[in-house]
Structure 1
Amino acid sequence: MAPLVLLVDDYADAREMYAFYLARRGYRVEEAADGHEALAKALGLTPDIILMDLSLPGIDGWELARILKRDTRTAAIPIVALTAHALNGEQERALGAGCDAFVTKPCLPQALAAELERVLQVASVRS
């Protein structure tokens, strides 16, 4: 079965574009528009990987990453931060919150898919 990606972004156009591309690459994709919806879907669906913007309404991405990594049901799910926060220290901040990788927007869908594949491969070696 194809890996399930939980795609979390409050910007509908970004979700649509990345979801379309990832589905074409063979991934199953579930979407969430805010931190609360993402938390519920992460707990209910147990995706293989979470692709998440950090600037989210409700629960922001940094806090959501901390919540997910503290919960034994979701701690092993890799999280890729997909964000426009490109300032110095933002990558370290995201990784410190529990994200496993950091991709700066805008990025080409091919580059994003390559990073997802890399993170999934690393996660499969760990388990």
Structure 2
Amino acid sequence: MSKTILVVDDSPSIRQVVGLTLRAAGHQVVEAVDGKDALTKLDGRKIHLIVSDVNMPNMDGISFVKEVKKLPDYCYTPILMLTTESEESKKAAGREAGAKAWLLKPFKPEMLLSAITKLA
């Protein structure tokens, strides 16, 4: 079943790879360049899942997750962090903020799709 997934990453190449992977699996993709941009995309449309980087300009991923959890329409939307950050303290901060899963870059497309199937 097709899901609408918001992909938040300041790297155009990562957005492209993630977007291609998700579209190939039949999903709709909405892209954002950072947390601030992503919040403007949460405009009432149905978003089934959010995939977000941690390290971004303007608003980092952890701050973005905290903001999403304050929005009534999106507070229950599962969030997958896709990042190079493997520190336990960062993961703990992500979980505390409300992220449901943590996937490290570089990622294998099948791992991303498997995580999305479990979450969305």
Task: Calculate the TM-score normalised by the size of structure 2.
Answer: 0.94
Correspondence for 2:72? 72
What residue number does 1:84 align with?
Answer: 84
Task: Give the match for residue 113 of structure 2.
Answer: 113
For residues 46 and 58 of structure 1, do their structure 2 counterparts lie closer, same or farther at Cα, with a shift above 3 Å needed?
A: farther
What are the residue-to-residue correspondences of 1:1-127 with 2, within 5 Å? Answer: 2-120=2-120
Identity of aligned residues (%): 28
Structure 1 residue 19 displacement after superposition:
0.3
Whichever residue aligns with residue 109 of structure 1, its letter is P
Give the number of equivalent residue pairs.
120
Aligned partners of 2:45 and 2:100: how far apart in 1? 19
Q: Aligned in 2, Cα 1:112/1:46: closer, same or farther, shift over 3 Å?
A: same
Residues 42-95 of structure 1, C-alpha deviations (whole Å, 9 max, x = no match) = 234331100000112111111110011122121011110111111132211111
Aligned to 1:22, the other structure's residue is in SS state helix
Output the CA distance in 1 between the equivalents of 2:96 and 2:70. Answer: 13
Gaps spanning 5+ residues in structure 2: where? none
**1:108 corresponds to which letter in structure 2?**
K
Instruction: List structure 1 segments (4+ residues) > 4 angstroms apart after TM superposition.
Output: none
Conservation of the 8 A alpha-carbon contact between 1:43 and 1:74: no
- Partner of 1:77, secondary structure, is coil
Which has the larger helix fraction?
1
* Coordinate RMSD, CA, aligned: 1.2
Write the distance in 2 (CA, Å) between the matches of 1:10 and 1:45: 22
